[in-house]
């Protein structure tokens, strides 16, 4: 079971993960990560932009890599786009597998790639002013962990 989506409205992660888990009968376990917009002192909003022709196909390609690399039964990968408020979910990845390590590692793998290699651009609003968020060196190190 594979469910890869972009959402332009706020979502409740449980409303996606519950049906996902039910759709993978016989699983040995599943692992879910939900990322939220961090509450920082003066951040009023976060906006994620994407480019339709490549962003979702890129996520599908990432799912292909995860299925090739780990022994998975199912993968749910949902990412928000548009404007969000602190505390709102921004990403939800859930992996179902026969064995736990495949599920846990697949989620970690997908998250590292979503953060530093997926086609999203973020900007944040502080004091009424928008500013773009630059790439972080730490994200590239996270990605390098998966190169053999």
Smallest distance from other proteins to CB 105, Å: 21
Smallest distance from other proteins to CB 101, Å: 26
Smallest distance from other proteins to CB 116, Å: 6
Smallest distance from other proteins to CB 15, Å: 25
Residue partners of 89: CB distance under 8 A and separation at least 6: 10, 11, 12, 13, 34, 35, 36, 80
Of the pair 25, 53, the CB lying nearest other proteins is at 53
Of the pair 29, 83, the CB lying nearest other proteins is at 83
Residue partners of 11: CB distance under 8 A and separation at least 6: 78, 80, 89, 92
The whole-angstrom separation of Cα 123 and Cα 113 is: 19
Of the pair 108, 139, the CB lying nearest other proteins is at 139
Binding positions for other proteins, rule: CB under 8 A: 49, 51, 53-54, 57, 115-123, 132-136, 138-139
């Amino acid at each position: 079971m594979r469910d890869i989506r972009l959402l332009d409205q706020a979502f409740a992660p449980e409303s996606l993960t519950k049906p996902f888990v039910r759709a993978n009968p016989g699983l040995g376990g599943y692992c879910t990560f939900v990322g939220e917009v961090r509450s920082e002192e003066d951040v009023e909003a976060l906006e994620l932009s994407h480019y339709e022709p490549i962003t979702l196909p890129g996520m599908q390609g990432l799912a292909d890599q995860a299925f090739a690399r780990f022994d998975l039964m199912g993968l749910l990968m949902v990412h928000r786009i548009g404007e969000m408020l602190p505390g709102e979910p921004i990403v939800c990845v859930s992996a179902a597998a026969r064995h736990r390590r495949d599920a846990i590692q697949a989620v970690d793998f997908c998250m590292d790639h979503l953060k530093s290699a997926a086609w999203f651009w973020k900007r944040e609003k502080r004091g009424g002013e928008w500013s773009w968020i630059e790439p972080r060196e730490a994200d590239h190190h996270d990605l390098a962990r998966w190169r053999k």
